[in-house]
Structure 1
Amino acid sequence: MILLISDLHLQEERPDLTRAFLRFLNEKAAHATALYILGDFFEAWIGDDGMTPYQEGIARALKQLSDRGTRIYFMHGNRDFLIGKAFCRIAGCELLPDPSRVVLNGTPVVLMHGDSLCTRDIGYMRLRRWLRNPIVLWILTHLPLQTRRKLARKLRSESKEQTKMKSSAIVDVTPEEIPPLLDRLNASILIHGHTHRPAIHELTLAGGRSAKRIVLGDWERQGWALECDENGELALEAFDIEPVG
């Protein structure tokens, strides 16, 4: 069994999410051969050098899973794209590029976080290109920690306000981006997160070829995981997140 998750937005202020994730590791992921985390694992990440005790605890929980034999792969999201080698070393995980073509129990799939597919959101795409510029990344990672914390809070606040004012179509994946992506990477299944709209979309590619776009859910009121069984069959599953207290 292989598991895929995304958009947990783990943060110390949400102990219910933390407990649900640790339970997921111990009860579900412990039986998996591999776990793929497709971004926005943390609510925010200001750099490996700014790792909090809470975040380090999560990393060590992943390392325990890795030490038991489950391979762990991590892909950057738009909230944790500054995660680097130090975190991966502590967590026992391998960093994947976005997009990545992998084979899950015989089934070739394309994995992405998903934000780069939301091309109708022109303002966000402009910000994304700026933040991912190597020069900007170097500057960001060399700013004082306190400055990075303030900047992260500012960007999160502005993002939430701007998203409220945008139509649902603008902040969703642009459908026309999918067929050429799958054709270029020679796959018929795309798996991504980011949009917080869990679903399995049936598609038709050039020449009548069938394809799927599977959207992972965010961990807000429910937890979500995509399970790939030994035959390569994919199933999207939800489970309750129980309140703490």
Structure 2
Amino acid sequence: MTTRLISDLHLHPGAPEVTEGFLRWLEQLASDTDTLYILGDFFDAWIGDDLLDLVDSDPTGSAALAVRVADALQRLSTQGTAIYIMHGNRDFLLGKRFADAAGARLLSDPCVVELNGSKVLLMHGDTLCTRDTDYMAFREQARDPEWQRQILAMPVIERIALARQLREQSGEANSNKAEDIMDVTPEEVTHTLRQHGVTTLIHGHTHRPAVHEFEVDGKPAKRFVLGDWHPDKGWEIVVEAGLSTRLRDFTLS
């Protein structure tokens, strides 16, 4: 059987090709995939699990998309695939209600799991980008339970507007940042691997798919970086018994 890992699909109504491609890809997994890990930014924005109640009243189409995706994941789960979802920097308000609807379990970030007989650290990856001090300050605020309670208490229409505003601000801010600031800090990667006692890391977030080989305390280490999905292409990491871990892209059309 096979374990697959994906991240950074950024599903939203404005990118129907990605949604349709993902749903087609998902239909193929039941035959050989025993575990699916989704490592954050599954949705481009998430305003709260009560979105699932708004299919008939949400003019943006986000609610209908969320229900459709949850139903597809639930079908896969029912067929025997274990599904785990980690929060990203865009969908950090994703909650247990959505996970239950999708037949999935929420996964802490970071999390150590066993893949193919070896311990591997899974992360979304944003906490590794410590040189982006503005984002790190926002992340600390956004993960504060009191801040989240205040946001979730807002009327839905206000949350939708806030999510749009935050996306626009993020895009504008990132366009003015140096490329290396938005990538991981190598020293933070080494520190994190050492802290968890592992030599393999899998993450997304940076949209820079690659396999990096280096050393930690004289031992060989690897960092797998998942890519973000586009209308014509998706990315996955495939882990099969007895075979090496593979990062691959594939067509969605």
Aligned to 1:34: 35
Partner letter of residue 125 of structure 1? M
Aligned to 1:200: 211
Q: How far apart are residue 176 of structure 1 and its match?
A: 0.5
Mapped partners of 1:50, 1:194: distance in 2:
24
Mapped partners of 2:32, 2:16: distance in 1:
24
Q: Which one of the candidate residues 231, 241, 244 is aligned to 2:252? A: 241
Aligned to 1:171: 182
User: Residue 112 of structure 2 aligns to a residue in which SS?
Assistant: strand
User: Residue 180 of structure 2 aligns to a residue in which SS?
Assistant: coil
Q: How far apart are residue 232 of structure 1 and its match?
A: 5.8
Report 1:62-77 matches (<5 A).
62-77=73-88
Q: How far apart are residue 29 of structure 1 and its match?
A: 5.4
Aligned to 1:21: 22
Mapped partners of 1:98, 1:29: distance in 2:
26
Q: Which one of the candidate residues 201, 215, 228 is aligned to 1:218? A: 228
Q: How far apart are residue 141 of structure 1 and its match?
A: 1.1
Q: Does 1:59 align with 2:70?
A: yes
- Report the CA distance shift for 1:29/1:196 in structure 2 as closer, same or farther (over 3 A): farther
Unpaired segments of 5 or more residues in structure 1?
A: none
Q: Share of identical aligned residues, percent?
A: 49
Aligned to 2:59: none
- Report the CA distance shift for 1:64/1:92 in structure 2 as closer, same or farther (over 3 A): same
Q: How far apart are residue 19 of structure 1 and its match?
A: 1.4
Mapped partners of 2:170, 2:129: distance in 1:
14
Query: Deviation digits for residues 103-152 of structure 1, max 9, x if unmatched?
Result: 01212100000011111001010111111111101111111111111110
Task: Please say if residues 107 and 232 of structure 1, whose CA atoms lie closer than 8 Å, have aligned partners that are also in contact.
Answer: no
Q: Which one of the candidate residues 96, 100, 115 is aligned to 1:104? A: 115
User: Residue 169 of structure 1 aligns to a residue in which SS?
Assistant: helix
Mapped partners of 1:232, 1:174: distance in 2:
30
- Report the CA distance shift for 1:16/1:36 in structure 2 as closer, same or farther (over 3 A): same
Report 1:29-178 matches (<5 A).
30-51=31-52, 52-178=63-189
Task: Please say if residues 114 and 193 of structure 1, whose CA atoms lie closer than 8 Å, have aligned partners that are also in contact.
Answer: yes
Mapped partners of 1:30, 1:157: distance in 2:
40
Q: How far apart are residue 30 of structure 1 and its match?
A: 4.3
Q: How far apart are residue 23 of structure 1 and its match?
A: 1.2
What TM-score does the superposition give when structure 2 sets the normalisation length?
0.93
Task: Please say if residues 8 and 205 of structure 2, whose CA atoms lie closer than 8 Å, have aligned partners that are also in contact.
Answer: yes
Q: How far apart are residue 28 of structure 1 and its match?
A: 3.5
Which moved further from structure 2: 27-36 or 60-69? 27-36
C-alpha RMSD of the superposition:
1.1
Query: Deviation digits for residues 65-90 of structure 1, max 9, x if unmatched?
Result: 00000000000001101010110110
Q: How far apart are residue 181 of structure 1 and its match?
A: 1.1
Query: Deviation digits for residues 174-231 of structure 1, max 9, x if unmatched?
Result: 110011211121111000000000000001011x100011000000242000000112
What TM-score does the superposition give when structure 1 sets the normalisation length?
0.96
Q: Which one of the candidate residues 192, 197, 200 is aligned to 1:186? A: 197
Aligned to 2:5: 4
